[in-house]
């Protein structure tokens, strides 16, 4: 599709426009955009969207593209909205424990800025290079979610641009605030299908003085749950409680955070519970069990499994018994783990189905985040989605013509 | 329509209600209807057209479906303790009271979850979980009588939300009756349900997006150690500085509450809580967690308070002393009734660092207007509850108090804060929403309303100053709506 004349004018507004169609850099899971627009402000995003609206163009927002292949490929992309130039950490109010940043700011950069004052945003960088906006849109989370939650819990204010180019804000710059609808929550995990987030305000937490990881090997699924239960029910206040699991067994890891004396005392409690095979260990190197840098058919089928906490043993058993190879890593302590599923498409699909059944039996779900295109074509990525009708109605209000990230999300939204 | 139940639509809903509910679950007599005319904010009063008291989700759905069919507005009400008029009835509508839906369906300690019905009292969730070593963290001051359904609608906070978060962080699932009368499940026992976080939008939407008929809530492990400290300061400035120093030291107490001299005087008179005599301000600081950690934090807090001018520090060493300290704080609103016949409770929020500046400005407002203001607040998160005192029987006092009250909210907005931290917008603060949000912001929020409730029947007139006309086709406005024509509504 030819670029709209108005979009060509973006350059005059300060935005950088590309149209060399360099598919390998700017494609969205294989779908190549006709035009790339790189706005530098919320107002430029609004202009770009207004302009796209005039011609009925389909738009996909992008940060650093580290999770752009998650979800289904869009049904089409006329304009790729590259938000990486909106990369400023705008304001860190240390005394108020809040930070305001643009959506394209790298999470690591934000952590560096707030870290200078001994603070942190309580969310892990699950994929190297991730931006604020991408982390928010996918609700990506790592081990820390056990103590500080996810973007859902940390986002306190948001600026969005609607598909019709209208700029709107919700929330604010204070943690405690119940004025108006919490639009931020709707944006978190929406895969860029409701509106384009351009700025966000987050609550921060103090960075702990001491962090210590302990690991205990586990052989069986029942043992993994027993170890999990012991820690959850103890008084050792874990900041994270992770499980690692592949065909041959695995381990449980606990993160203790706080002050030196307190952490030491709680580490003794954990060792008392877990026994002599428990030992101090280094922080895990990655959040996900798959290679996040893999592309195309080299990708594992990356799956997010959720369940009521006590469902852990069943989930691990299902993973072990599955026809495909399944490696699991994630937050046993909250009932959210990730599985890398590898094998023939047929085996992968069968495995996703059996994991889905087990998770559903424990009040949760199995969502395929990313996968080779053949797998994406063979399995419903999202599984059963309750209240889908309401979600469609919401989408229809925000994006009546279905031009924003079309087809990427649940139910073809 | 002044007599309840005379409208045709309302009559039809009443008839349907008598089919659906037991006989005593439908109230139509004027005298009994009047007992529901207000919630915790008693100066707004409207007698509902009809009151129903369903016992099951299916009954709620049936009533709502009937309302949708006949175009009758409805309002959900839990215990009626809200402080923003969020449960103010509609004169030509139905008040759906959830107080008969009081079952705690499940307590699953291993999953750290409980499933409760909307009429369950907040504190009863904790009572049910305590034998298992768990509790329900959100603790509004009214927790002995307020309901989970109301908490969910208002996204209630409480003293301990500084560390543990608000209702929205603790409700992980809900069964919702949509404004069409459908029963849908949002979220569940597991986190991160696929799709849009509709639950996140519903919690805190003040009953405008539907009625929750059950909630799945997180249970939190009871802490090993709790220390409650009462600290007396010469001034609110000193107490504020101590608060900032504690936060800057990287300590996140479970709660930091402040009361100024006038609030202390009232509390003392009402409940004899034994707060330090002559204090210009007190802080109630609670630390909880693992024992070793709490000891270390306590030492630090004690020192930081001393460094910032504390003249008395009292540590509660047993549950009775702890309860007495909290009694002074939690009864503060009611206690103010002892020193003033009438008062307005405000609920503004400011960034914590703006505290000294804002308190000085409130002081000045009070001085120039002659209206007394007692300050009680969640100092840790900057949530102010100024109590603006007046005597309704005296000429002009009520108007003067209202003016001061509005000016305080302006101060909060000027400092980048919010008009409400936990009480909600309701009917009371809807008029202040345009001071905090622009027309486009409010219009965008109302897109959510239109998706859920295009006919504007679920708790109409709350949250938004002006209803949005939703239109048949999303995003496209056709012709002029009769209400718009009559000047009753506008399209942004």
Q: Check: CB of residue A158 under 8 Å from CB of residue A200.
A: yes
SS3 at position A166:
coil
Cα A337 to the center of its chain, rounded Å = 13
Interchain pair B200, A95: CB under 8 A: no
Distance from CA of A391 to the nearest CA of B (A): 6
pLDDT band at B468 (very low <50, low <70, confident <90, very high): confident
pLDDT on residue A249? 84
Cα A203 to the center of its chain, rounded Å = 18
Average pLDDT, chain B: 92
Residues whose CB falls within 8 Å of the CB of residue A405, separated by 6 or more in sequence, listed in order: A59, A60, A61, A74, A191, A192, A193
DSSP-derived pairing of the beta strands A35-38 and A79-82? parallel
Distance from CA of B264 to the nearest CA of A (A): 24
pLDDT on residue A243? 98
Same domain? For B388 and B355 the reply is: yes
Domain ranges (residues) in chain A: 1-207, 210-281, 296-378
Judging contacts by C-beta atoms under 8 Å, the chain A residues touching residue B109 are 233
Average pLDDT, chain A: 94
Residues whose CB falls within 8 Å of the CB of residue A261, separated by 6 or more in sequence, listed in order: B292, B293, B296
CA dihedral sign of residues A352, A354, A355, A359: positive
pLDDT tens digits, A63-89: 999 999 999 999 999 999 999 999 999
Q: Check: CB of residue A61 under 8 Å from CB of residue A71.
A: no
Q: Which of B373, B368, B365, B377 is nearest to B389 (CA)?
A: B373
pLDDT band at A15 (very low <50, low <70, confident <90, very high): low
pLDDT on residue B467? 82
Minimal Cβ distance to A166: which of B418, B440, B445 = B440
Same domain? For B215 and B229 the reply is: no
- Interval B93-99 mean pLDDT: 98
Same domain? For B358 and B408 the reply is: yes
CATH top class, domain A210-281: alpha beta
pLDDT on residue B129? 98
Q: How far is Cα A82 from Cα A64, in angstroms, rounded to an integer?
A: 8
Residues paired with B202 in a beta bridge: none
- Tokens 């909060």, located at residue: B412
pLDDT tens digits, A354-398: 999 999 999 999 999 999 999 999 999 999 999 999 999 999 999
Does residue A19 surpass a pLDDT of 50?
no
Residues whose CB falls within 8 Å of the CB of residue B442, separated by 6 or more in sequence, listed in order: A180, B433, B434, B464, B465, B466, B492
Distance from CA of A188 to the nearest CA of B (A): 7
Structure tokens at B376: 């009680």
Interchain pair B190, A393: CB under 8 A: no
Q: Which residue of A has its CA nearest to B380?
A: A96
Same domain? For B138 and B208 the reply is: yes
Q: Which of A126, A188, A180, A182 is nearest to A152 (CA)?
A: A188
Pick the CATH number of A296-378 from 2.40.50.100, 1.10.3720.10, 3.30.70.2740, 3.40.50.2000: 3.30.70.2740
Residues paired with A159 in a beta bridge: A169, A199
Domains A1-207 and A210-281 share a fold: no
Distance from CA of A197 to the nearest CA of B (A): 13
Domain boundary residue, one of B76, B97, B118: B97
pLDDT tens digits, B240-293: 999 999 999 999 999 999 999 999 999 998 888 899 989 999 999 999 999 989
pLDDT tens digits, B385-435: 999 999 999 999 999 999 999 999 999 999 999 999 999 999 999 999 999
Domain boundary residue, one of B392, B407, B436: B436
pLDDT band at B486 (very low <50, low <70, confident <90, very high): very low
pLDDT on residue B479? 40
Minimal Cβ distance to B194: which of A152, A237, A383 = A383
Residues whose CB falls within 8 Å of the CB of residue B190, separated by 6 or more in sequence, listed in order: A306, A307, A308, A311, A335, A336, A359, A362, A363, A364, A365, B172
Q: Dmax of chain B from CA atoms?
A: 69
Domain boundary residue, one of B175, B203, B221: B221
Distance from CA of B137 to the nearest CA of A (A): 14
Judging contacts by C-beta atoms under 8 Å, the chain A residues touching residue B185 are 386-387
Same domain? For B318 and B419 the reply is: no
Minimal Cβ distance to A186: which of B109, B155, B201 = B201
**Range list of β-strands (E), A5-88:** 16-18, 35-38, 59-62, 79-82
Q: Which residue of A has its CA nearest to B448?
A: A394
DSSP-derived pairing of the beta strands A279-281 and A240-246? unpaired
Q: Check: CB of residue A199 under 8 Å from CB of residue A183.
A: no
Residues paired with A305 in a beta bridge: A337, A366
Minimal Cβ distance to B452: which of A190, A236, A390 = A390
Same domain? For B127 and B211 the reply is: yes
Minimal Cβ distance to A385: which of B161, B195, B463 = B195
Q: Which of A1, A86, A97 is nearest to A45 (CA)?
A: A86
Structure tokens at A183: 């639009």
Interchain pair A170, B445: CB under 8 A: yes
Please tell me the pTM assigned to this model.
0.94
- Tokens 């069968």, located at residue: A350
Give a yes or no: residue B458 inside a domain. no
Judging contacts by C-beta atoms under 8 Å, the chain B residues touching residue A307 are 189-190
Same domain? For B187 and B234 the reply is: no
CATH code for the domain of B379:
3.30.70.2740
Judging contacts by C-beta atoms under 8 Å, the chain B residues touching residue A385 are 193-195
Half-sphere exposure of B308 (CA within 13 A, CB side): 25
Same domain? For B428 and B399 the reply is: yes
CATH code for the domain of B37:
3.30.43.10
Same domain? For B330 and B242 the reply is: yes
Interchain pair A172, B474: CB under 8 A: no
Structure tokens at B199: 């639950």
Q: How far is Cα A33 from Cα A28, in angstroms, rounded to an integer?
A: 8
Q: Which of A3, A204, A198 is nearest to A114 (CA)?
A: A204
DSSP-derived pairing of the beta strands B94-97 and B50-52? parallel
Phi, psi of B316 (to 5 degrees): -75, 125
Same domain? For B236 and B325 the reply is: yes
Structure tokens at A363: 């009040």
Q: Residues A365, A366, A370, A372: what is their CA dihedral angle, to the nearest 10 degrees?
A: -140
Q: How far is Cα B197 from Cα A386, in angstroms, rounded to an integer?
A: 11
Give a yes or no: residue B140 inside a domain. yes
Does residue B333 surpass a pLDDT of 70?
yes
Number of domains making up chain B: 4
CATH code: domain A1-207 is 3.30.465.10
Burial of A207 (C-beta count, 10 Å sphere; 0-12/13-18/19+) = middle
Interchain pair B444, A168: CB under 8 A: yes
The per-residue DSSP string of A128-161 comes to TT-BHHHHHHHT---TTHHHH--HHHHEEEEEEE
Judging contacts by C-beta atoms under 8 Å, the chain A residues touching residue B192 are 139, 150, 189, 304, 306, 336
Give a yes or no: residue B294 inside a domain. yes
DSSP-derived pairing of the beta strands B211-218 and B171-177? antiparallel
DSSP-derived pairing of the beta strands A79-82 and A59-62? parallel
CB atoms under 10 Å from CB of A108, counted, come to 14
Q: What domain range is B323 assigned to?
A: 223-337
Same domain? For B233 and B200 the reply is: no
Distance from CA of A373 to the nearest CA of B (A): 20
Q: Check: CB of residue B79 under 8 Å from CB of residue B150.
A: yes
Structure tokens at A229: 């239960």
Interchain pair B290, A236: CB under 8 A: yes
Same domain? For B375 and B288 the reply is: no
Distance from CA of B404 to the nearest CA of A (A): 20
- Interval A154-177 mean pLDDT: 97
Least confident of A323-327, B11-15, B319-323: B319-323
pLDDT tens digits, A102-120: 999 999 999 999 999 999 9
């Amino acid at each position: 599709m030819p670029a709209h004349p108005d979009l060509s004018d973006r350059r005059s507004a300060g935005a950088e426009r590309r149209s060399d169609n360099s598919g390998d850099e700017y494609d969205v899971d294989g779908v190549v955009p006709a035009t790339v627009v790189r706005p530098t402000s919320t107002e430029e995003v609004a202009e770009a969207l207004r302009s796209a609206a005039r011609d009925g163009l389909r738009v996909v927002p992008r940060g650093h593209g580290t999770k752009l292949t998650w979800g289904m490929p869009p049904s089409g992309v006329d304009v790729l909205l590259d938000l990486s130039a909106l990369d400023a950490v705008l304001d860190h109010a240390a005394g108020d424990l809040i930070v305001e940043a643009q959506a394209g700011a790298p999470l690591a950069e934000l952590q560096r800025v707030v870290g200078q004052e001994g603070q942190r945003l309580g969310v892990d960088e699950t994929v190297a290079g991730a931006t604020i906006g991408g982390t928010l849109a996918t609700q990506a989370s790592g081990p820390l979610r056990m103590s500080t939650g996810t973007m859902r819990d940390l986002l306190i204010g948001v600026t969005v641009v609607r598909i019709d180019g209208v700029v709107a804000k919700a929330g604010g710059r204070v943690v405690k605030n119940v004025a108006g609808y919490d639009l931020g929550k709707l944006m978190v995990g929406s895969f860029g299908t409701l509106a384009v987030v351009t700025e966000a305000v987050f609550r921060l937490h103090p960075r702990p003085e001491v962090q210590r990881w302990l690991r205990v090997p586990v052989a069986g699924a029942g043992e993994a749950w027993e170890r999990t239960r012991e820690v959850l029910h103890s008084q050792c206040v874990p900041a994270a409680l992770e499980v690692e699991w592949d065909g041959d067994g695995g381990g449980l890891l606990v993160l203790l955070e706080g002050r030196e004396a307190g952490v030491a005392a709680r580490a003794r409690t954990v060792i008392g519970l877990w026994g002599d095979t428990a030992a101090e260990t280094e922080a895990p190197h990655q959040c996900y069990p798959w290679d996040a840098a893999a592309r195309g058919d080299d990708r594992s089928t990356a799956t997010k499994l959720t369940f009521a906490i006590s469902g852990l043993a069943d989930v691990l058993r299902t993973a072990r018994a599955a026809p495909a190879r399944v490696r699991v890593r994630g937050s046993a302590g909250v009932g959210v783990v990730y599985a890398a599923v590898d094998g023939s498409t047929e085996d992968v699909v069968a495995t996703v189905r059996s994991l889905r059944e087990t998770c559903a039996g424990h009040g949760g779900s199995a969502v395929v985040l990313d996968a080779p295109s053949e797998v994406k074509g063979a399995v419903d990525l999202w599984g059963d989605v309750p209240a889908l009708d309401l979600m469609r109605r919401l989408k229809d209000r925000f994006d009546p013509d279905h031009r924003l990230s079309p087809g990427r999300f649940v139910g073809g939204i | 329509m002044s007599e309840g139940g005379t409208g045709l639509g309302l009559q039809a809903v009443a008839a349907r209600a008598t089919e659906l509910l037991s006989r005593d679950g439908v109230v139509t007599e004027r005298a009994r209807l009047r007992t529901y005319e207000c919630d915790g904010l008693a100066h707004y009063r409207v007698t509902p057209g009809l009151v129903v008291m369903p016992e099951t989700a299916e009954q709620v759905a049936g009533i709502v479906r009937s309302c949708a069919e006949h175009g009758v507005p409805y309002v959900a009400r839990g215990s009626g303790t809200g402080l923003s008029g969020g449960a103010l009835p509609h004169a030509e509508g139905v008040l759906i009271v959830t107080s008969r839906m009081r079952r705690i369906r499940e307590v699953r300690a291993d999953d750290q979850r409980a499933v409760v019905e909307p009429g369950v009292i907040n504190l009863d969730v904790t009572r049910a979980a305590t034998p298992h070593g768990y509790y329900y963290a959100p603790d509004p001051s009214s927790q002995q009588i307020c309901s989970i359904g109301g908490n969910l609608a208002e996204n209630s906070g409480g003293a301990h939300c500084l560390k543990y978060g608000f209702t929205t962080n603790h409700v992980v699932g809900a069964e919702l009756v949509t404004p069409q009368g459908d029963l849908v499940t949002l979220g569940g026992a597991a986190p991160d349900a696929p799709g849009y976080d509709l639950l996140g939008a519903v919690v805190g939407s003040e009953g405008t997006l539907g009625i929750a008929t059950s909630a799945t809530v997180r249970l939190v492990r009871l802490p090993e150690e709790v220390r409650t400290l009462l600290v007396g300061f010469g001034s609110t400035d000193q107490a504020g500085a101590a608060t900032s120093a504690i936060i800057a030291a990287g300590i996140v107490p479970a709660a930091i509450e402040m009361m100024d001299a006038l609030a202390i005087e009232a509390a003392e008179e009402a409940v004899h809580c034994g707060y330090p005599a002559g204090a210009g301000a007190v802080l109630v600081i609670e630390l909880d967690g693992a024992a070793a950690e709490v000891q270390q934090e306590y030492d630090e807090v004690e020192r930081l308070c001393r460094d910032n001018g504390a003249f008395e520090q009292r540590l509660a060493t047993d549950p009775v002393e702890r309860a007495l300290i909290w009694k002074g704080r939690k009864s503060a609103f009611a206690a103010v009734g002892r020193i003033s016949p009438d008062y307005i409770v405000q609920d503004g929020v400011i960034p914590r660092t703006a505290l000294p500046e804002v308190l000085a400005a409130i002081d000045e407002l009070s001085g120039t207007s002659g209206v007394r203001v007692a300050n009680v607040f969640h100092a840790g998160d900057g949530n102010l509850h100024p109590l603006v005192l007046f005597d309704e029987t005296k000429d002009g006092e009520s108007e003067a108090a209202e003016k001061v009250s509005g000016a305080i909210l302006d101060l909060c907005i000027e400092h980048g804060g919010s008009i409400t931290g936990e009480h909600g917008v309701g009917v009371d603060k809807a008029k202040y929403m345009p001071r905090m949000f622009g027309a486009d912001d409010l219009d965008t929020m109302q897109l959510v309303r239109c998706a859920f409730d295009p006919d504007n029947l679920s708790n109409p007139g709350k949250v938004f100053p002006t209803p949005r006309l939703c239109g048949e086709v999303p995003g496209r406005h056709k012709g002029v709506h009769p209400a718009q024509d009559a000047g009753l509504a506008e399209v942004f």
